[in-house]
């Protein structure tokens, strides 16, 4: 459900489109060009308070403060990797929840991985973010502000965004879609939709609906197994949706958007990493439009999954390639600053941070 109010009931202005802000300001008796100025303060100058919006009159700033909240995340912790420059951030929300975001530097630009929910209820067995279940959905402003704060803190432009941190985007559908439109808006940070990636564990109706949005976003599917049987041992969502239907939805996404998919495959020793499984995966994906991204799984202490060894990863990759599948191996980023995704937040919450 789309939620445009913050927890004290004031309207969340950072989650609004320019048209909506224009309507709001007109209702307050202001001219429409004020809406453009305000939108620019929020989404281009990345203002953290109404007080700092110096081109707006004192009276307007007073009215804004009275009626609206300007979501601004608090930096609780920043950790920098000495190995590859990756930075992990813990941000505090207005209700005291903590979320994790990651900033990574690549040759093609700076990428931010954001959370879309506080926690997650999908229960994937290899994931630290789901261990305490779902706390709540993030509003569009709270997704935007992860990027805005990181851009302000690093002083560098963010060119790519992956919605791949804590949360299942299709479980917070309206807020995520609104976020994608705002972050790619020409009047805001204007990040190309082609540089936005949304990762899903495979919610079939969500993928089909997402295909109809008219967006040019990359969809990444957390696949992690070549068949339903193995997939069910790793991902409870596989009990709800059969692989056949998930891949059918992915094909539909390609047909509608022309965007090739990314199939994420975390390699777990002894669970899904033998050559038989590589062969089955090659057969499964033979006619799909996309590439496989192999991820050496990051161990989390609450589970006993172990990363595949280098040779197993290389053999798995070679077999896929021999069968004509495009494959990449995800570089491990920020291994020295919190390990697996969601792990830094988890250790902070347990007082080990």
- 341 tagged catalytic: yes
DSSP 45: S
Measure Cα distances from 230 to 80, 200, 224, 327 in Å.
36, 18, 9, 21
Does 201 participate in binding ligand SF4 (rule CB under 6 A)? yes
Integer Cα distance of 49 and 69 in angstroms: 9
Integer Cα distance of 199 and 293 in angstroms: 12
- 100 tagged catalytic: yes
Does 166 participate in binding ligand SF4 (rule CB under 6 A)? yes
Rounded to 5°, the CA angle 81-83-85 comes to 50
Residue ranges with strand state E in the chain: 11-12, 68-69, 74-80, 87-92, 98-106, 109-114, 117-119, 134-137, 160-163, 196-200, 218-222, 261-267, 290-296, 327-329
Q: Choose which of 98, 102, 122, 247 interacts with ligand SF4 (CB under 6 A).
A: 122
Q: Choose which of 16, 93, 102, 120 interacts with ligand SF4 (CB under 6 A).
A: 120
Q: Choose which of 167, 188, 226, 290 interacts with ligand SF4 (CB under 6 A).
A: 167
Query: With CB under 6 A as the contact rule, which of the stretches 30-38, 96-104, 124-132, 332-340 interacts with ligand SF4?
Result: 124-132
- The CB-of-317 to ligand SF4 minimum distance in angstroms stands at 22
Query: With CB under 6 A as the contact rule, which of the stretches 33-41, 70-78, 115-123, 308-316 interacts with ligand SF4?
Result: 115-123
Is 103:84 a contact under the CB 8 Å cutoff?
no
Residue 89's DSSP bridge partners are 78, 101
Does 343 participate in binding ligand SF4 (rule CB under 6 A)? no
Does 124 participate in binding ligand SF4 (rule CB under 6 A)? yes
Does 129 participate in binding ligand SF4 (rule CB under 6 A)? yes
Nearer to ligand SF4, 41 or 89 (CB): 89
So which residues are the catalytic ones? 100, 341
List residues binding ligand SF4 (CB under 6 A): 120, 122-124, 127, 129-130, 166-168, 201
């Amino acid at each position: 459900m789309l939620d445009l109010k913050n927890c004290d009931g004031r309207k969340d202005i950072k989650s609004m489109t320019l048209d909506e802000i224009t309507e709001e300001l007109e209702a307050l008796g202001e001219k429409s060009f004020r809406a453009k100025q305000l939108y620019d303060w929020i989404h281009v100058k990345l203002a953290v308070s109404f007080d700092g919006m110096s081109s707006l009159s004192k009276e307007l700033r007073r009215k804004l403060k009275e009626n609206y909240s300007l979501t601004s995340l608090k930096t609780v912790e920043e950790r920098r990797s000495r190995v590859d420059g990756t930075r992990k951030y813990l941000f505090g929300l207005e209700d005291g929840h903590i979320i994790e975001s990651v900033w990574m530097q690549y040759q093609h630009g700076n990428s931010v991985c954001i959370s879309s929910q506080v926690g997650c209820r999908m229960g994937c067995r290899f994931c630290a973010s789901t261990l305490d279940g779902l706390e709540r959905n993030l509003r569009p402003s709270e997704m935007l502000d992860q990027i805005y704060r990181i851009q302000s803190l690093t002083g560098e432009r963010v060119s790519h965004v992956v919605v791949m941190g804590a949360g299942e985007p299709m479980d917070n559908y309206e807020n995520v879609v609104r976020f994608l439109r705002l972050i790619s808006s020409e009047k805001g940070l204007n990040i190309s939709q082609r540089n936005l990636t949304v990762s899903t564990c495979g919610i079939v109706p969500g993928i089909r609906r997402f295909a109809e949005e008219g967006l040019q976003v990359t969809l990444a599917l957390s696949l992690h197994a070549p068949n339903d049987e193995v997939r069910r041992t790793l991902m409870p969502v596989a009990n709800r949706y059969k692989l056949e239907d998930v891949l059918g939805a992915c094909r539909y996404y390609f047909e509608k958007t022309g965007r090739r998919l990314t199939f994420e495959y975390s390699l777990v020793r002894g669970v899904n990493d033998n050559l038989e499984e590589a062969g089955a995966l090659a057969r499964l994906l033979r006619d799909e439009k996309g590439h496989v991204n192999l991820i050496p799984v990051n161990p989390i202490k609450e589970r006993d999954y172990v990363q595949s060894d280098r040779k197993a990863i290389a053999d798995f990759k070679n077999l896929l390639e021999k069968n004509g599948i495009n494959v990449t191996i995800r570089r491990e980023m920020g291994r020295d600053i919190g390990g697996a995704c969601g792990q830094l937040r988890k250790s902070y919450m347990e007082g080990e941070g």
